[in-house]
């Protein structure tokens, strides 16, 4: 996996020049350890899941940091949350020195709260997702993301160039982006790895974080949640299906989101003239894991499954968010839009660049009648343009304010 350049490598290096510490967060097995060792091969490495390393730093933290006051990688830092309080004091002793510590953290809903409480202003956070398709194929980040560097404008939008063919996209869409199984190119190993990942996620990570959790109910929850991926979640209905309380479903969703398996996308509620559905929508962040849970193994399985449209929408959404996460663009948020009469826009990106509504359609050709809601939204909010992402071959203006972008360009 070391020969695969992760698009956030440069971002991590840049942030280390600005902050005393950087933490790389994300789901297990996304390559956090690999990228840290690759970027900083000469730094001292400590793995808090290794009992020897854990004892070494926890026995006398102050003495340890006297020995290693900088150039230190601390892997799986959530295993000892008190380390963040100690780090605050160590950093503040020499606050002007940048790039002293690189940490990783995974599978802990409480991790971000510990960071914000103890290291606010002292640490930068980078989220490492599973492989983005361009990373798997060793391609640079596409020029689509240049449009977010300034206020959205019609000037450079048509210059977007697709960098991947549809055959490359479909493999990543089907198999997801966990590095080890996707790089193996071995279907048997891929399926075994996914099964082991599911088991260790529940049996080890979740059991450790939530020892009183009903593992059987949570396993059923994940299975049913997979079939609902891409939908607005009705907590009451889900609670009845699993035979738990609605409060328990809220807790389960919080766990799934906090361990980076599930993404909740809030409703866009800034249109006061419409009756907006305010419940969040959600989806599995990795389509490979989603398809595994639904017993979708081959492309034919996917093409004949009713989830195909929602799965493609989730894949495109995550590809876009992975791309934005790798840039220096800050203060942006994803939303979706749906009114009570059924008008819907799949994704709305909002930030300092403005507001960009995006419709995602599986297929090469999309009739204009299916873009009426997008067109009305653009006009009502006086936006420069909106975007359709599908499986077309080329960038093309479908209307004066709706541009078609092939999925290979994202």
Task: In whole angstroms, give the CA distance from residue 68 to residue 63.
Answer: 9
Residue 155: per-residue pLDDT: 80
Residue 273: per-residue pLDDT: 62
Of 97-106, 272-281, 296-305, 335-344, the poorest mean pLDDT is in 272-281
Non-local (6+) Cβ contacts of 177 within 8 A are 129, 130, 131, 132, 133, 135, 136, 286, 288
Residue 51: per-residue pLDDT: 96
Sheet holding 354-360, edge to edge: 333-338, 344-351, 354-360, 386-390, 402-406, 396-399
Taking residues 309-321, report their average pLDDT.
98
Strand partners, 404: 388, 396
Is the Cβ–Cβ distance between 77 and 9 less than 8 Å? no
Q: What are 357-368's pLDDT values in tens digits? A: 999 999 999 999
Task: In whole angstroms, give the CA distance from residue 12 to residue 21.
Answer: 10
Alpha-helical (H) ranges within 68-214 are 83-93, 111-119, 133-136, 166-175, 179-184, 187-200, 207-209
Averaged confidence pLDDT in the chain: 92
| Domains of the chain (ranges, CATH numbers) | 9-127 (3.40.50.300), 133-409 (no CATH)
**Which has the closest alpha carbon to 128: 160, 103, 147?**
103
pLDDT category at 272 given cuts 50, 70, 90 is low
The CA distances from residue 2 to 33, 287, 320, in Å, are: 11, 23, 24
Q: Is the pLDDT of residue 228 over 90?
A: yes
Residue 266: per-residue pLDDT: 94
Task: In whole angstroms, give the CA distance from residue 141 to residue 8.
Answer: 10
Non-local (6+) Cβ contacts of 236 within 8 A are 246
User: What is the reported pTM?
Assistant: 0.94
Task: In whole angstroms, give the CA distance from residue 410 to residue 319.
Answer: 7
Residue 53: per-residue pLDDT: 97
Q: What are 202-214's pLDDT values in tens digits? A: 877 887 778 888 9
Sheet holding 72-75, edge to edge: 44-47, 72-75, 101-105, 21-25, 123-127
Q: Is the pLDDT of residue 182 over 80?
A: yes
Neighbours of 179 (CB within 10 A): 18
Is the Cβ–Cβ distance between 263 and 318 less than 8 Å? yes
Specify the length of the chain in residues: 410
Taking residues 72-78, report their average pLDDT.
94
Task: In whole angstroms, give the CA distance from residue 249 to residue 242.
Answer: 9
pLDDT category at 112 given cuts 50, 70, 90 is low
| 62-67 own/partner pairs: CB under 8 Å, 24+ apart | 62/86, 65/90
């Amino acid at each position: 996996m070391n020969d695969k350049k992760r698009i956030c490598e440069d971002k991590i290096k840049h942030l280390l020049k600005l902050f005393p510490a950087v933490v790389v967060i994300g789901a297990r097995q996304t390559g956090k350890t690999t990228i840290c060792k690759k970027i900083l091969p000469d730094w001292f490495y400590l793995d808090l899941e290794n009992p020897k390393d854990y004892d070494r730093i926890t026995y006398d933290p102050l003495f340890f940091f006297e020995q290693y006051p900088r150039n230190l990688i601390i892997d799986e830092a959530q295993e000892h949350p008190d380390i963040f309080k100690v780090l605050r004091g160590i950093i503040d002793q020499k606050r002007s020195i940048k790039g002293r510590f690189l940490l990783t953290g995974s599978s802990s809903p409480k991790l971000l709260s510990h960071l914000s409480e103890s290291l606010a202003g002292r640490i930068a956070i980078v989220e490492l997702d599973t492989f983005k398709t361009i990373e798997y194929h060793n391609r640079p980040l596409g020029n689509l993301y240049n449009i977010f560097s300034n206020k959205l404008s019609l000037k450079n939008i048509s210059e977007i160039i697709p960098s991947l063919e549809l055959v490359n996209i479909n493999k990543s869409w089907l198999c997801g982006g966990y590095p080890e199984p996707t790089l193996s190119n071995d279907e048997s190993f891929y399926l075994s790895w996914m099964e082991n990942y599911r088991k260790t996620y529940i049996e080890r990570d979740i059991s450790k974080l939530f020892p009183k959790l009903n593992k059987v109910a949570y396993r059923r929850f994940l299975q049913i949640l997979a079939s609902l991926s891409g939908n607005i979640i009705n907590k009451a209905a889900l609670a009845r299906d699993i035979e738990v309380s609605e409060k328990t479903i809220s807790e389960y969703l919080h766990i799934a989101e906090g361990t980076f398996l599930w993404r909740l996308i809030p409703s866009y509620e800034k249109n006061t003239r419409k009756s907006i559905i305010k419940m969040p929508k959600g989806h599995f962040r990795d389509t490979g894991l989603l398809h595994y849970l639904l017993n979708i193994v081959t492309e034919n399985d996917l093409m004949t499954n009713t989830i195909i449209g929602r799965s493609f929408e989730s894949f495109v959404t995550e590809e876009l968010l992975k791309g934005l996460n790798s840039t220096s663009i800050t203060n942006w948020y994803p939303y979706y839009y749906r009114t009570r009469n059924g008008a819907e826009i799949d994704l709305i990106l909002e930030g300092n660049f403005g507001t960009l509504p995006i419709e995602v359609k599986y297929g090469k050709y999309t009739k204009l009648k299916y873009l009426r809601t997008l067109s009305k939204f653009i006009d009502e909010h006086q936006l420069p343009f909106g975007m359709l992402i599908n499986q077309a071959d080329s960038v093309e203006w479908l209307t004066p304010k709706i541009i078609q972008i092939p999925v290979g360009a994202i």
